[in-house]
Structure formats: structure tokens, C-alpha cells
Amino acid sequence: MGEAEIPFTLDRKSPASLSAQLANQLRSAVLGGILQPEQNLPATRRLAAEIGVSRGVVVRAFEQLSGEGFLESNGAGGTKVAIRPDIQNLPVKTKLPGLTSEAVGIINLAPGQPSGAPFRDREWRAAWKNAVSADVATHLPPVLGTHELRLAVAQHLAASRGVAVDGDDVVITAGTSDGLQLIMAMLRERQGQNGRPRVLVEDPGYPTARRVLAAAGAELMTVPVDEDGLRSSQLDSLSGMPDAVLVTPSHQYPLGGRMTVQERLGLLSWADENGVLVMEDDYDSEFRHKRMPLPAIASLPSNADVVLLGTFSKNLSPWLRCGYVVVRGQTGENLKQARAALDTPVSGILQSALAHYIQGGGLSRHISRARREYAHRRELLIARLGDRPDIELAALDGGLHAVSRFAQPSAEVVAAEALRQGVKLVPLSGYYADRAADNGLVIGYGAVTDLQLARALDVLLSLLD
């Protein structure tokens, strides 16, 4: 098992000594399952240097926890977590004083967080080494993205989604939010400066997209959807005609179902007839657990204008802020002009590293590993919650999150009490815009360990009982 990496936050103004604070956080990491039985801790000298304290502070904290039975010192062999799984099963009752929600102790089940593993991947580090050893470029990165990354994205899409695109059809963005702003800039340019493009969004849907679109000048219209997403028959009874529609056809966000091919074709033919731009948010379709992915809307035969929005936030990490749009035809040209006018927000060195990583096969290997990891946690979730007659589980076909609905207590109350017990859970209500929300939670399981997930579900179940 690898060495532990924990973000310690020490407060020099606190009345508690630094070694007591460190001991508290280490204890909490063992209790919370962040540190696992047998896991090695860094050497005292190195940890002291990393967190900027004297070695004596670390030695005292280790000694304290060894005395309490949490750690075991093997002399020159280092210190490891003592084998006490019974300790890890104890419910955490209170948050330790002085800890922020990001610090050790909170098990965060907010959705949208993938496994942090790619950054420890040897191939990822090699890709960066390669990128930084290249000649230093003194010019700005190309506005549409580097040739290498555009090509790598096209190859990745062909292999993972069966979408046949040319590197020239790909524009690199700083993620989906940036892609949406770009599309808005293009639509506003088309309408003139006072134009407010009307954008139809799913309800419930991705709240960040609603916020970003509104901030970029969109007038939002919503359409109620269930897990299977938007149905083309709903489009005939809209109160007005939108300029664009944003859909998550492969994994409705957050409810988790998918639009059938018939519905996708229906949407395309309506969009074509009415000159509506379809924005396809294809954010996590690489993570299918049971069923095969359906073809992307952007790959179906149609004359409608479609922009595919892709992101590296789920299959790699949101920390990168990198994604892409796939565009064709006149809309593609207009979008490229909008990008040229706005300039690129994406770093050239990031693009080089990412292109190396994708082309060397690192990304697809990482996705396969992550898929197995997520599938395993999904099984764990089903094993814990699946049999409960009071819980309806959904969104389990793919992705990194699930939805649990229950009649009572209120999801907001459950989330507040869970947080008090060290578990962050997100109520479903935040995803709804204009309709009454179902009572339930969106449970992200991408970034937690199995042990953390098991403990968090124990807390959830105890609150529902």
C-alpha cells in the first residue's frame, strides 16, 4: 500500500499545540478511513519539512498516536497505521475543532469529483516531464488549441465514443462552463449586442450551467424532465422557441437515465426544423457500468446544428480546467471566430502534457482503471442501500454519482445532520429550477475510498432510521 498523502492544516494561532493539532488530524484520518490499516506514513523528517514544523512536533504526534494504538512504529522501517478496523467502524460524532470542511475528517460525497488517482499515475508525470522538457515557447498558445491536443481529442472521441471527427472540428476550452460561455458569445454576436439568446435547459439539470448561461446573457427556459431526459413530444408545447437547447442525453444530470435513439432523432429533427442549436453536454459517458453507451447526438445523421461539449473534468480532473467543443459547418466557423475574439484561456503547457498523455494511451488506461473503481463503489452503494424499501436508488447505469430518493425526513435535514457527523451530502433540491423538487440526495462516489463510502452510508442510514 502506498504512502499516505494528507492535507494537514495547522493553525499557529490556536491555543492547541502544533503536535496536538497534528495528532488530532491524524487520528481523524484513521477514524475516517482516509488512512487505511497498514498504510505507511511519511518519515518524520520529511513530513516535518513538508508541513513546515520542527521534526520534534511530528515525533510527538506520532508517539501520542502510537500510545493510543492508532499507529505502530517499526523503528527504521517507519510508521504505519495499526491494524484496527474496529476503530474505523466507530461513527464520527463531532467535527474536530479548527477543521475546515476541506480538512481531514469530512467525507465528501458531493458529486462531480472524480478519483484523484491520475495525478499519481506514472504516465501522467511522464507526460508532464515531456511537456516541460520541450523548447520554451515564447508565443501565445493557438486560440483554438494546439494541433496535437485537437488531434488527440479527435482520436480519443473516435475510440471512446465512436464519433468520427477531424482535429479541425475540435476547439479546446477551459471546460464545459467555458464552452457554454463561448457558445453564448457566438449567439450574442449573431443577435447583435442587445440580444439575449433564449436557452432551453432540463429541469432538474446542472445548476452551474444555468448560472453560467444566465451570467453570459441567456434568457433561460426550462423543460421538466425525468430520468430519461427530454422527450421530443414536449418540444411542441413550449411557450416560445429557444435559440439553443442544452441536453445531457447520455446521462441525464443528475437523474441519470438516457435519451433513447428515437428521442435523440426527434430532438434533432425539431432542432433542424426550427433552427435551434443543440448543445450536447457529454460529460461522463466513458463511465458506463451496465449498458453500452448510445451514439452521441453529434454523430447522428441530421442537418441540425449540434455542438458537442466535452470535458476532462470527469475522466481526469476538474483541477485541470480543460475540455473541448466539437463543431462543424457555419456554426463551427462562427464559434471559432468567437474563440479568436476572446482568446484562449487554456495554458499551452497543459495542452502539451495532455496531448502526450492521451496519445500515449495513458488516458484510456486511466479511464479503464477508474471505471473498475467506480463500478466497485457502485456495487457497495447498491449493497448498502439497494434493499431498503424506503429508499429509491437511481442514476446507477453510469457516471460517478447516484440519486437516492426517500419520503422523509427532509433531505436538507439529513444533509445538515450528516455534515455535523463528518459527511457531506448534497440534496437533490439544488438541481431543480422551476419545479417542486423530489426529496432525495445526490451521492458522489468518485473521490472517496471504499471505506469512506461505507462509513458515510452508515451515517446516512442511521439518519434515515
Ligand X SMILES: Cc1ncc(COP(=O)(O)O)c(C=O)c1O
Q: Which residues bind ligand X (CB under 6 A)?
A: 112, 175-177, 206, 248, 253, 281, 283, 311, 313, 318, 323
Residue nearest to ligand X (CB): 175
Nine-digit cell at 386?
439497494
In angstroms, give the least distance from the CB of 287 to ligand X.
12
- Reported as half-sphere exposure (CB side, CA atoms, 13 A), residue 7 has a value of 8
Strand-pairing partners, residue 403, are 394, 442
Distance CA 208, CA 6 (A): 29
Taking the least distance from each CB to ligand X, the nearer of 253 and 406 is 253
Taking the least distance from each CB to ligand X, the nearer of 142 and 318 is 318
In angstroms, give the least distance from the CB of 88 to ligand X.
29
In angstroms, give the least distance from the CB of 122 to ligand X.
25
Nine-digit cell at 461?
442510514
In angstroms, give the least distance from the CB of 31 to ligand X.
29
- What are the CA-CA distances from residue 366 to residues 46, 118, 250, 464 (Å)? 29, 7, 21, 36
Q: Which amino acid is at 445?
A: Y
Q: Which amino acid is at 399?
A: G
> How many angstroms from the chain centroid is the CA of residue 143?
26
Taking the least distance from each CB to ligand X, the nearer of 71 and 180 is 180
**358, 153 Cβ separation under 8 angstroms:** yes
In angstroms, give the least distance from the CB of 337 to ligand X.
22
Nine-digit cell at 427?
440534496
In angstroms, give the least distance from the CB of 211 to ligand X.
11
Taking the least distance from each CB to ligand X, the nearer of 251 and 455 is 251
Taking the least distance from each CB to ligand X, the nearer of 21 and 311 is 311
DSSP 304: S
* Cα-only R_g, the chain: 24
Strand-pairing partners, residue 245, are 200, 278
Taking the least distance from each CB to ligand X, the nearer of 323 and 398 is 323
Distance CA 269, CA 460 (A): 44
Strand-pairing partners, residue 280, are 247, 308
Taking the least distance from each CB to ligand X, the nearer of 248 and 421 is 248
Distance CA 76, CA 266 (A): 68
Taking the least distance from each CB to ligand X, the nearer of 64 and 176 is 176
One-character DSSP codes across 350-391: HHHHHHHHHHTTHHHHHHHHHHHHHHHHHHHHHHHHTT-TT-
In angstroms, give the least distance from the CB of 124 to ligand X.
18
DSSP 238: -
- What are the CA-CA distances from residue 364 to residues 161, 211, 268, 316 (Å)? 12, 32, 30, 10
In angstroms, give the least distance from the CB of 311 to ligand X.
3
